[in-house]
Structure 1
């Protein structure tokens, strides 16, 4: 009985002496250890057990605790190395693609802007749309690339939280260009639609001044739709983020899903289908007219 009491007291004292962080590590890693134990063969479990049978229970507890702690530290270090290696590969690959896409996009937009600024093309309506799109898309590409680059290397929040004005304006312009870019494509498609469907009215509707007014109107509407970024965006807990609001979240989902994606895509699809259909009808009519004209000329001969 005395030996059992001494053993019990010794175990309690040793348990109290174990640091709390080691206990937390052991408890937190218990699930992973159980899964690892399932993969170990029976012989690998029995052999360490037979070697420690001759030692005291107190020594068994201490040695087991030490080995678990050491194994836990080694496994965590190995996992950290694997995660860092995976992050470096993934980050470099992602950033390489992003920089290539952004560079090609900005260069292409710059060339389009220069080409559409030529004296012969400047007076046409679609040149206004293409130049406006070049500026908007280039701004969006540069902002997204900068944001992803800073986020990849964990500098994004440091950059945005440097000043509340920067936080608000960055979020506002990014959201505005996301809305503006697809609707400029819709405006250009609508201009081509009017020229094909209403050819007699093209000189009255498809003008440079009307194209400029439409682009300016779309820009103002996009700014008005995203003014919530200026109102509800702020720096909280060293993060530039929008305030948690149920109505705001629903509005943002509606805007990004419907206004920025579904509606402009459907509009462009419908306009292009109608335009292509009219062009095919016109081509078919011309072929029939040529055939009828050629048959009449043959009869007269």
Structure 2
């Protein structure tokens, strides 16, 4: 759910918090301004669509690369790979739905979703579930790092793979339950390309979007990261005073290992915050029906907010690669292993005929040698005429076999 989806009076939109102003009187209230907003939304040009597709493709590639990156034995007992894999799995549907929707709008084919109630309902359900789940998974990851840093003695008991799986599963179930009302809460307008959320769910959907999907997760991520940063700074200061240089350097390495995961949390906050603030401002302006110039200005900036919002769903792999030489080394090793395995398979296949031919030549050499020895034996043997060459050759050949 994005900035544009908090409005209802935009022709040709596929909204999620539609009917915010009940979709009836709002059209007359917003006449004039609505035309400008609609023009900014629908006439974005090819540049925005290209950026949208590039962001989605890069995000999908990054999400797929998370699985081989964190699939090694060294990560099997850690908790944070569970959160990152859940994030990669849940973020892919968001990227694909956004790309499909923007492509349909760009090619003026929005009716394929907007006029089909079943497709529109399924799309909204999946999108609402995953957009609600993603920021809360980041909150879970940040809370996991919070316990590791602030309560290191409890780390082995709390920050486990099993408990991380339980937390992610509970968050997934929570997001699904919140989106269940949408399965029977979507309606279509005859003769239009828009599907709306029913009137009785408008307040509920607005609350989920404004509080549970945006503002509350951002606030928790911000507070937890501030506390983690303060605690790390205090720990560094304490070690400088009361520990030796060698032990301090070891602890600094441990602190540096937190950097990639903290950056993932911080960048999630940075990419979610602009759209969260913009959605809140638009909601207030639409409810109060005031300051339409500000509303129009926000919609001018909407493409930038949307691209930034999409980056949140595909940036984790690239953050790990940019912030840690260890992760870069791991992915290079895995790619090299795949190349080496491929060459080994080819070498095995290519050597097989040579081995067979060498074995055949060796058997032929032995048979010829045994034949010559039997002929020499038959010529020089006088005392044992009953021992024929055929018997000698047969016995030697059986031994060689």
TM class by shorter-chain length? 0.5 to 0.7
Q: Which residue of 2 aligns with 1:61?
A: none
Q: 1:243 to 1:175 in 2, by over 3 A?
A: closer
Which of residues 24, 27, 45 is equivalent to 1:91? 45
Q: Which residue of 1 aligns with 2:234?
A: 281
Q: Is the 8 A contact 1:233 1:240 kept in 2?
A: no
TM-score (norm: length of structure 1): 0.64
Which structure 2 residues correspond to residues 160-239 of structure 1 after superposition, within 5 A? Answer: 160-162=114-116, 164-237=117-190, 239=193
Q: Separation in 2 of the partners of 1:149 and 1:240?
A: 16
Q: Is the 8 A contact 2:187 2:198 kept in 1?
A: no
Write out per-residue CA displacement over residues 234-266 of structure 1, whole angstroms, 9 at most, x where no aligned residue. Answer: 334154523441x42122221111111110001
What 5-or-longer segments of structure 2 have no aligned partner?
A: 1-38, 246-401
2:89 counterpart of 1:142: no
Q: Separation in 2 of the partners of 1:92 and 1:154?
A: 13
More helix as a share of residues: 1
Q: Which residue of 2 aligns with 1:130?
A: 84
Q: Separation in 2 of the partners of 1:276 and 1:289?
A: 20
Q: Is the 8 A contact 1:167 1:240 kept in 2?
A: no
Write out per-residue CA displacement over residues 56-75 of structure 1, whole angstroms, 9 at most, x where no aligned residue. Answer: xxxxxxxxxxxxxxxxxxxx
What 5-or-longer segments of structure 1 have no aligned partner?
A: 1-82, 293-301
Q: Separation in 2 of the partners of 1:196 and 1:243?
A: 43
Q: Which residue of 1 aligns with 2:280?
A: none
Q: Separation in 2 of the partners of 1:290 and 1:211?
A: 33
Q: 1:128 to 1:269 in 2, by over 3 A?
A: same
Q: Which residue of 1 aligns with 2:64?
A: 110
Q: Separation in 2 of the partners of 1:151 and 1:229?
A: 23
Which structure 2 residues correspond to residues 26-65 of structure 1 after superposition, within 5 A? Answer: none
Write out per-residue CA displacement over residues 111-130 of structure 1, whole angstroms, 9 at most, x where no aligned residue. Answer: 12221122221321000000
Q: Separation in 2 of the partners of 1:125 and 1:244?
A: 40
2:204 counterpart of 1:272: no
Corresponding residue SS for 1:226:
helix
Q: Separation in 2 of the partners of 1:205 and 1:240?
A: 47
Structure 1 segments (4+ residues) deviating >6 Å: none
Q: Separation in 1 of the partners of 2:217 and 2:59?
A: 21
Corresponding residue SS for 2:133:
helix
2:211 counterpart of 1:252: no
Q: Separation in 1 of the partners of 2:134 and 2:73?
A: 25
The offset of 1:226, in angstroms, is 1.3
Q: Separation in 2 of the partners of 1:122 and 1:240?
A: 46
The offset of 1:232, in angstroms, is 0.7
